[in-house]
A and B are shown apart, each in its own frame.
Chain A
C-alpha cells in the first residue's frame, strides 16, 4: 500500500456544505479516506490551529479552503494554509468568488451590524460583540486577493462526483480535466430561439416541462454558468441561479455575461425591464459579486473609507 497523502481541510466563513458534499461520496469514502493522512480538518478531527501552525511549510500535499475570508481569523487561516500546502484548492463558490455571503457587500458593515446586533424584532439597542473575537473586515474580499490557488473547484456546493473526480486525479498525480460546457449543455429542454415576451416570476403559472425556461420568461442563468452541476436544477423544473460561477476561464464576469445574455433574449422596452427584472444585482451576481467588475468598484469604495 502506498503512503497516505498529507491533507488539510480548512473552513473560512461558510456553511460547511462543500465538506458535506465531500462526505456524500458515500461508500467511496471507504476507498478515499485511507489514502489520506488528515493533518487538519476541524469538523472531523481534533487537531488544533496550533498543530497546523506547527507543521513545516509545504509539508502538506493538498489543502482545501472552503468559504470566504472576512474575519481576521479566516484570513490568518487562509494564509496559513497557503504556507503549509503545496497544492491549495479554492473549494466551492464562496472560496472561488465570494459566493452568497459576498452579497453582504451590497451594504456597509455598519448597516449589517445594525440589523444583526443592534436593532431587529428581538433585539433593542444591542451592543456589538468584541471580546475574544476576531475583527470583521469592512468588505468581503475575494480569497484570490489574499493568496494564489493552484486549483479552483466551484459550486454551491461542488457536486460529490466532481469532488471525487478531482480528489482521485490529485491523489494519482494526474491533471484534473473538467468539461467546459455551460448548464444548457446538460438541459433537455427545447430551445426555439424565440424572444421572451413577458418576464415571469418563478412561482407564476405552470411551466411547460419541455421548453427552455428562459424562453418561457423565467429568468435562468444556465447559459452563463459552468455546467459542472450537470443541470441538476433545470432537470427538476427549477431555473438556474448560477451557483457554479462562469464557464472557464474562471475570471470571466458571470453577472455581466448573464445580464447581456438576458438582454439579447428579452428585447423589451427598458421601462418594462426595469419594472419586471426586480433585482438584477441579487439575481445575476448572486454568487460572484466580490470577483466581478461591479463588486471590485464597491470593495475599493468601502476600503477607501477606512483609510
Chain B
C-alpha cells in the first residue's frame, strides 16, 4: 500500500483533438506530476515531402478542421516566400477577409459551444446537460445568436474559399476566385445583424466575467512568456513580426518570421506526441510561452479597430497587462471577435475587394526556402518549406498553433491541481449561482 495515486482524465473533453490528463498525487495529496498527453499524430511534415509545392496549401488545411483557413494561408505564404512571389493587393485583401471570417466563426464556436456550458450551467453540472445541446434547450436566444455568428463566418469563408472547411481557392501568386459584386452586396446586407450579435456576445461575456471574477483572478493564474503577430505593435492576424513578451510584461523581441529558428525552441516531451514550443533564448522550461487570444492581447500595444481597442482597454482595467489569468483567454477571445467583425465590415466596404486582378499569370517555381506565418484562432501558426528547382517540396517544418500552448497548458494545470488538491481552493472560493439551474 502506498499513499500515491494516479488520476487519468480520458479523454479531455470539449477539445477538438486528442488528449488525456495524467495527474500523479503523492502522500497528503501532494501533486507530484502532471502530464497533458496528446496522443495522436499523423506526420504531415513527412508526407508533404515529394509533393509539388503548390499542392501543400490544399493538403495542410487537413491538419485542423476548425482552423483550416489559417493553414491554407500560412502554407501559401511559405510557398510564395520560397518562390519569391508577391500576390496582387486585391488577393491579399481576400485572404484577409477569409482569415477574419474564420476568426469570427472559430471564436464563436469556442466561446459558445466549448466554453459557455461551464459558465451557464456551472462547472459542477452533469455531463448530460453541460453541453451546447443544453444551451440550445434552455437559452434558445443565446444559442441562435451563437449559431448566426458561426454561420456568418463559415458561409463567408465558403464564398471566398469554395469550402469553409479545407478551402481551395488560394494559389501561389493569388486567388483562383474573385469575389463577385453581388456576393459582396449580399454580405454587406448581413453585416448589421452580425454586429448586433457581436454586441450581445460582448454583453454576455461581461456578465460571465463579472460573476466569475474570483475564479478568473485566483484560479490557474500562470505567468509565462507570450507570443503573437503585430504590425508595429498593433494586433494583426495575417501579417507582421512575431513579438515575444516575458512574464514580467517586457517586450523582449520583435522578429521576422524567417528568423524563427533563432527564437523557437522545440522540446520533445516523453509523454506527448505534440511537442512543446518555447522561447529558445530563455531555455526550457523557463522559456515556456503561450499563444492564442490572451497572448495576442498581451503582446499587442493596441487593437487595430476602434471598438476592439476600447474592449481591450476595458479588459486591461480588470486583469492588467500582461494578464496571466488562464480563464481570461475567454475574455480576450471576445475582444478579438469584435476586431474580426470590424475588419470584415471594413474589408467588405473596400471597393478593391471585388477586383478581378487577383492572380499572377507568370509564377515560376525556384529552389529556395520560405516561412509563412499567420495567427490561427488558437495561436501563431508557422509553415516552413524548402523547394527544389522544380518546385517540389523537399522539407517541411510545421509549428502549429496549439504546440505553442502545450507546455503552457501543462504549467497552468499544475498550478490549478496544486490549488485544488493541496490548498483545497474549491472549498474557499464561492462559485456564482449558475445562470441556468438544472
A216 vs B296: C-alpha distance when bound (angstroms): 45
Interface size on A, residues (CB 8 A): 83
In contact, B390 and A20 (Cβ under 8 angstroms):
no
Looking at the complex, which one of B63, B131, B143, B273 makes contact with A133 (CB distance below 8 Å)?
B273
The reply on B318 being an interface residue by CB < 8 A is no
In contact, B42 and A132 (Cβ under 8 angstroms):
no
Which residues of B sit under 8 angstroms from A100, Cβ to Cβ?
59, 62
In contact, B130 and A45 (Cβ under 8 angstroms):
yes
In chain A between 104 and 146, which residues have their CB closer than 8 angstroms to a CB of chain B?
104, 106-107, 111-112, 115-117, 120-123, 126-127, 129-134, 136
In contact, B13 and A46 (Cβ under 8 angstroms):
yes
- Shortest CB-to-CB span from A93 to chain B, Å, is 10
Nearest B residue (CB) for A20: B65
In contact, B275 and A17 (Cβ under 8 angstroms):
no
The reply on B139 being an interface residue by CB < 8 A is no
Place the interface of chain B in its size category: 35 or more
Question: Could you mark each residue 132-163 of chain B with 1 if its beta carbon is under 8 Å from any beta carbon of chain A, else 0?
Answer: 11001100100110011011001000100111
The reply on B172 being an interface residue by CB < 8 A is yes
Q: Which of A27, A106, A133 has the most CB of B within 10 A?
A: A133
In contact, B109 and A134 (Cβ under 8 angstroms):
no
The reply on A278 being an interface residue by CB < 8 A is yes
Looking at the complex, which one of A14, A38, A111, A134 makes contact with B133 (CB distance below 8 Å)?
A38
In chain B between 22 and 72, which residues have their CB closer than 8 angstroms to a CB of chain A?
22, 35, 37, 39-47, 49-52, 54-55, 58-59, 62-66, 68
Nearest A residue (CB) for B158: A232
A29 vs B17: C-alpha distance when bound (angstroms): 22
Nearest B residue (CB) for A105: B47
Interface residue stretch chosen among A190-198, A237-245, A264-272 = A237-245
The reply on A263 being an interface residue by CB < 8 A is no
Interface residue stretch chosen among A78-86, A180-188, A201-209, A251-259 = A201-209
- Shortest CB-to-CB span from B8 to chain A, Å, is 8
A74 vs B40: C-alpha distance when bound (angstroms): 9
In contact, A34 and B137 (Cβ under 8 angstroms):
yes
In contact, A30 and B144 (Cβ under 8 angstroms):
yes
The reply on A49 being an interface residue by CB < 8 A is yes
In contact, B66 and A16 (Cβ under 8 angstroms):
yes
Looking at the complex, which one of A11, A203, A232 makes contact with B18 (CB distance below 8 Å)?
A11
Looking at the complex, which one of B46, B261, B384, B390 makes contact with A107 (CB distance below 8 Å)?
B46
Question: Could you mark each residue 28-56 of chain A with 1 if its beta carbon is under 8 Å from any beta carbon of chain B, else 0?
Answer: 01100110101001111111111100000
Interface residue stretch chosen among B232-240, B264-272, B299-307, B430-438 = B264-272
In contact, B144 and A123 (Cβ under 8 angstroms):
no
A120 vs B132: C-alpha distance when bound (angstroms): 40
- Shortest CB-to-CB span from A203 to chain B, Å, is 5
A282 vs B49: C-alpha distance when bound (angstroms): 10
In contact, B271 and A132 (Cβ under 8 angstroms):
yes
A101 vs B41: C-alpha distance when bound (angstroms): 9
A30 vs B135: C-alpha distance when bound (angstroms): 11
- Shortest CB-to-CB span from B377 to chain A, Å, is 12
Given A26-B150, A120-B45: A237 and B177 within 8 A (CB)?
yes
Which residues of B sit under 8 angstroms from A207, Cβ to Cβ?
176
Given A15-B62, A38-B131, A236-B176: A30 and B168 within 8 A (CB)?
no
The reply on B202 being an interface residue by CB < 8 A is no
Given A44-B131, A233-B163: A132 and B20 within 8 A (CB)?
yes
User: What is the interface of chain B, defined by CB distance below 8 A to chain A?
Assistant: 9-11, 13-18, 20, 22, 35, 37, 39-47, 49-52, 54-55, 58-59, 62-66, 68, 109, 113-114, 127-128, 130-133, 136-137, 140, 143-144, 147-148, 150-151, 154, 158, 161-166, 168-169, 171-173, 176-177, 261, 264-266, 268-273, 275, 277, 359-361, 363, 384, 390-392, 395, 397, 399
Q: Which 3 A-B pairs have the closest CB atoms?
A: A17-B65, A236-B162, A126-B268
Other A-B contacts than A43-B13, A44-B132, A238-B177, 8 sampled, CB-CB below 8 A, are: A20-B65, A26-B150, A43-B15, A104-B43, A111-B46, A201-B54, A233-B163, A278-B390
User: What is the interface of chain A, defined by CB distance below 8 A to chain B?
Assistant: 11-21, 23-24, 26-27, 29-30, 33-34, 36, 38, 41-51, 70-71, 73-74, 99-101, 103-104, 106-107, 111-112, 115-117, 120-123, 126-127, 129-134, 136, 156-157, 201-207, 232-233, 235-238, 241, 243, 278-279, 282-283, 286
